Amino acid sequence: MNLLLHLEFFIAVAEEQHFGRAAARLGMTQPPLSQGVKKLERELGVTLFHRGAKGVRLTAAGQSLLPDAVDLVARARRFTESARRRGTAERTLRLGVMPKVPTALVADLVATVRAATPSGRVEVTIAPSVELIDQLGSGAVDVGVVEHPALVEPLVGGDVVALPLTLLVPATHPAAGHDPCELSRLGGLRLASPPRADGPAAYDLQGDVFARLGMDLDVVHAPDDRWALASVAAGHAFALTADPELTAPGVRRVRPDTESLRLRLRCLRAAAGDVPDDVLDAAAACIARFAATPGGPR
């Protein structure tokens, strides 16, 4: 028998002096409450209530035992709350970040989340947005930074923050001589990009920008910026990056001539998780500070 649960039944009936009102207070129906009190009486070997048509009243034994029951339940609650606080203070927060997030921002996010976490311990996972959303739902990740738009219900999310994107083009391509660069000048180059499966909605949103210009892009899969940079340096592709430091010999950084191309990021946590909102808020503020860097990512 769950003694604490049945003691809560006893206390509610004693204070309400009515099984119906006690059941409503506990968020349950009357029959299991009545059965639970009877079970407690059998377990203790005493009668706790005089039952009548107008309600119930405590027996002498019930009056004697009620203060101890109240104290025991209160102490159990204090114990549980203390254990949970200790667990929160000692836990390692698991942060998930999608691969397009710039390296410097990832480091800043880790430092920010670490400062907002009681234990100061953070583990980092780099994974596509779709995987991070699944891991948030399963509890494998506590806080995730994913690309927007994405199907995130029933997760809890902060505001969407948009980071400007820069074009990476081969230095020998004609587009390298134009800053800002019209997207139509990228002809003959493939787009080095993560696969659509990593984030279908965001992938399609980006594709629509090029489609409106009549551009039917040939995509070469590049899981992260390192792969994308290599493809650009090889001279057969262009890429988009939010990293203000990403470059290499043979690669030119130029601004796109449209503001429609953005890396839209959102911080998420599980709806039923125990991650405080201030941790989520701190992570979102960190991304917003990065986006507001004077001059923007170039």
Instruction: For the chain, give percent helix, strand, coil, nearest 5.
Output: 45, 20, 35
Which of 60-74, 225-239, 267-281 comes out lowest in average pLDDT?
Answer: 267-281
CA dist 237 to 26, 104, 162, 170, 182, Å?
64, 24, 24, 7, 16
CB 180 within 8 A of CB 255: yes
In the predicted model, is pLDDT for residue 28 greater than 90? yes
In the predicted model, is pLDDT for residue 5 greater than 60? yes
Would the CA dihedral through 114, 120, 123, 129 be positive or negative? negative
Q: Please give the structure tokens belonging to residue 94.
A: 């698991």
pLDDT > 90: what percent of the chain?
Answer: 82
In the predicted model, is pLDDT for residue 255 greater than 50? yes
- Cα-based angle 252, 258, 260 (whole degrees, multiple of 5): 115
pTM of the model: 0.71
Count other Cβ atoms within 10 Å, centred on residue 64.
12
Average per-residue pLDDT in the chain? 92
Q: What per-residue confidence (pLDDT) applies to 297?
A: 44
Task: Please report which confidence band the pLDDT of residue 84 belongs to, taking 50, 70 and 90 as the band edges.
Answer: low
Q: What per-residue confidence (pLDDT) applies to 136?
A: 95
Q: How far apart are CA 95 and CA 284, in angstroms?
A: 13
Q: Give the residue-averaged pLDDT of 206-219.
A: 92
Dihedral over alpha carbons 159, 154, 25, 277 (to 10 degrees)? -30
Burial 141-163 (b: 16+ CB within 10 A, else e): bbbbbbbbbbebeebbbbeebbb
Of the candidates 141, 138, 144, 61, which has an alpha carbon nearest to the alpha carbon of residue 97?
Answer: 144
In the predicted model, is pLDDT for residue 294 greater than 50? yes
CB 145 within 8 A of CB 109: yes
Q: How far apart are CA 84 and CA 276, in angstroms?
A: 13
DSSP string, 159-190: --EEEE-EEEEETTSGGGG-SSB-GGGGTT-E
In the predicted model, is pLDDT for residue 233 greater than 60? yes
Structural domains of the chain in order of their starting residue, each with its CATH number: 3-89 (1.10.10.10), 91-161+264-291 (3.40.190.10), 166-260 (3.40.190.290)
Q: How far apart are CA 100 and CA 179, in angstroms?
A: 23
**Residue 84 vs residue 150, higher pLDDT:** 150
